Amino acid sequence: MKKIVTDNRFLIGAFIILVFIPSFILGFHNATLYNPRHGFDGIDHVYYIKYVFQNKKIPPPNLGKETHQPQLYYAVGALLMSITGTWKTAQYINIFVLWLIIGMVGIGLYKVFKKTDQILIGMFSLAALPMLNIFPAMITNELLNTFWIVSAAISALYIALSRSKKELMRNSLWFSASFILGSWTKASIILIIPAVICSYMLNKKVLSFVFFLTIIVTSFLSLPMFVRSVVSNSSSNIVVHALTQKYRFRPIEYYFRLDWIPNVDMYNTQYYSLLGAAWNSFWTDGHNAITPFVKFHKKSFILWSLGFILLPISIYGLFKLFLMNKKTFIMMIVIAGTMLFSYVYTNINGHYSGARLTYEMGIVFPYAFGIATASKNKKLKMFLLIALSIQFITMLSFYWIQPWWHVTK
């Protein structure tokens, strides 16, 4: 028993020193240098925070390009601005939110695996994931939105695995709080609804009044934010766009085109390939959100290529999860399936930034579960540690913003 405790302390200590601290340093460094106007509508997010700070109220939903967004993230940014006197402080929010996401996923992993090494490898897979690491330098509500989606997804997993009425009620309250706060952050929290419905269907101890009470309370406190989002009638609002715009019937090859692989296109696939756009936004900085635009970059190529190794391992892990815990496997498939369906739909619908997978970042949860499950195999565990270490070190080096990069200006 003492040996197990000692081993766990060593693993946790090594994780903090080798992963958490370097990640935090990268985020702090990048947030200090990065000019947020280069992010995804960065200047509009800054405007929202400044408006809340200066006027002590939420702007009308149609006042600016991003003012249709719910207010939680911007209220936090305005609060920090009131304390420090500069909007720049808001740029450091996402450094902490990134690790809230990773820690929350760790809670989900603990529910199923219990073993420290599997939990930490699953968390490591996210700390090294390029898609999550482009956001800590920016002023944007995307990461906070991801946190609430992940929190709601994990609460749904806990609901599915609840063994008593008391546990079921507690986890239902957790889901309700996550969904409500998520609705006060970004409308895409709705993507988690299929997972929570599935979770109640998988739990044989479901109490109908608990389910309906959860739905009623959650809907009552979330609905005002969705109404505000819809009435804004903003062209940048993906919900409004989905409800009002005509479908764009792209050429069928857009959805299956694979020539970006032999062409090693790491930057431009969003214009002609759905699969390539998703790949580049997940495994490298395909939209050049923080890194300079170049036709080919060796570090980007390493990150881009590692996906062809890590994704099959994660899928293999999910298959193994089916054999060891069918309820958890079903939850992971529902979550991943919902995210992928949403991604395809936003592209069919023709939203101008739908080619980015960032609207569906909740997909990182099943990805981490697949990696953690695969690491149960001792040979795969060592291989994963090597592959993830290469990914993490390369990502740190590639994303380390230099003062002369255009994103600092």
| Residue 23 pLDDT greater than 70, yes or no | yes
Tokens of 356: 């980015």
Q: At what angle do helices 193-202 and 326-348 cross, to 10 degrees?
A: 160
pLDDT of the residue at 132: 95
Tens digit of each residue's pLDDT (9 = 90 or more) over 80-132: 988 888 878 889 999 999 999 999 999 999 999 988 999 999 999 999 999 99
Most confident region among 14-18, 42-46, 60-64, 224-228 by mean pLDDT: 14-18
pLDDT of the residue at 7: 66
Separation of alpha carbons 130 and 282, rounded Å: 6
User: For the purposes of burial, counting CB atoms within 10 Å of the CB of 289, is it exposed (0-12), middle (13-18) or buried (19 or more)?
Assistant: buried
In this predicted model, which residue has the larger pLDDT, 225 or 14? Answer: 14
Tokens of 145: 């939105």
| Residue 246 pLDDT greater than 60, yes or no | no
Query: Is residue 65 a contact partner of residue 234, using CB atoms and an 8 Å limit?
Result: yes
Residues in CB range of 292: below 8 A, 6 or more apart:
405, 406, 407
pLDDT of the residue at 1: 54
Number of compact structural domains in the chain: 1
Most confident region among 3-7, 128-132, 168-172, 349-353 by mean pLDDT: 128-132
Tens digit of each residue's pLDDT (9 = 90 or more) over 130-140: 999 999 999 99
Mapping DSSP onto H, E and C, the string for the chain reads CHHHHHHHHHHHHHHHHHHHHHHHHHHHHHHHHCCHHHCCCHHHHHHHHHHHHHHCCCCCCCCCCCCCCCCHHHHHHHHHHHHHCCHHHHHHHHHHHHHHHHHHHHHHHHHHHCCHHHHHHHHHHHHCCHHHHCCCCCCCCHHHHHHHHHHHHHHHHHHHCCCCHHHHHHHHHHHHHHHHHHHCCCHHHHHHHHHHHHHHHHCCCCCHHHHHHHHHHHHHHHHHHHHHHHHCCCCCCHHHHHHHCCCCCCCCHHHHCCCCCCCCCCCCHHHCCHHHHHHHHHHCCCCCCCCCCCCCCHHHHHHHHHHHHHHHHHHHHHHHHHHHCHHHHHHHHHHHHHHHHHHHHHHHCCCCCCCCHHHHHHHHHHHHHHHHHHCCCHHHHHHHHHHHHHHHHHHHHHHCCCCCCHHHC
Q: How far apart are the first and last CA of the chain?
A: 55
Query: Is residue 124 a contact partner of residue 336, using CB atoms and an 8 Å limit?
Result: no
What average pLDDT score do residues 273-289 get? Answer: 92
pLDDT band at 235 (very low <50, low <70, confident <90, very high): low
pLDDT of the residue at 220: 74
Name the residue type at position 384: L
In this predicted model, which residue has the larger pLDDT, 44 or 204? Answer: 44
Calculate the alpha carbon distances from 85 to 45, 59, 204 in Å: 17, 20, 53
What average pLDDT score do residues 350-363 get? Answer: 79
Question: CB atoms < 10 A from the CB of 284, how many?
Answer: 29
Tens digit of each residue's pLDDT (9 = 90 or more) over 213-233: 777 878 777 877 777 776 655
Query: Percentage of the chain surpassing pLDDT 70?
Result: 91
Query: Percentage of the chain surpassing pLDDT 90?
Result: 59
Tens digit of each residue's pLDDT (9 = 90 or more) over 173-216: 999 999 999 999 998 899 999 999 999 889 877 766 677 777 78
What average pLDDT score do residues 50-58 get? Answer: 90
- Give the range of the structural domain holding residue 65, as residue numbers without chain letter: 2-408
pLDDT of the residue at 230: 66
Taking the CA atoms of the chain, what radius of gyration do you get in angstroms?
A: 21
Whether the CA torsion 188, 97, 135, 392 is positive or negative: it is negative
Most confident region among 51-60, 228-237, 248-257, 276-285 by mean pLDDT: 276-285
pLDDT of the residue at 270: 86
In this predicted model, which residue has the larger pLDDT, 64 or 253? Answer: 253
Calculate the alpha carbon distances from 86 to 53, 56, 119, 120 in Å: 10, 15, 38, 36
pLDDT of the residue at 128: 98
Calculate the alpha carbon distances from 294 to 150, 285, 287, 388 in Å: 33, 11, 11, 25
Separation of alpha carbons 191 and 344, rounded Å: 13
Tell me the average pLDDT of the chain: 88
| Residue 236 pLDDT greater than 60, yes or no | no
Tens digit of each residue's pLDDT (9 = 90 or more) over 372-405: 999 999 999 999 999 999 999 999 999 999 999 9
pLDDT band at 241 (very low <50, low <70, confident <90, very high): low
Tens digit of each residue's pLDDT (9 = 90 or more) over 314-342: 999 999 999 888 999 999 999 999 999 98
Most confident region among 69-73, 219-223, 268-272, 369-373 by mean pLDDT: 369-373
Calculate the alpha carbon distances from 27 to 197, 217, 400, 407 in Å: 36, 37, 9, 15
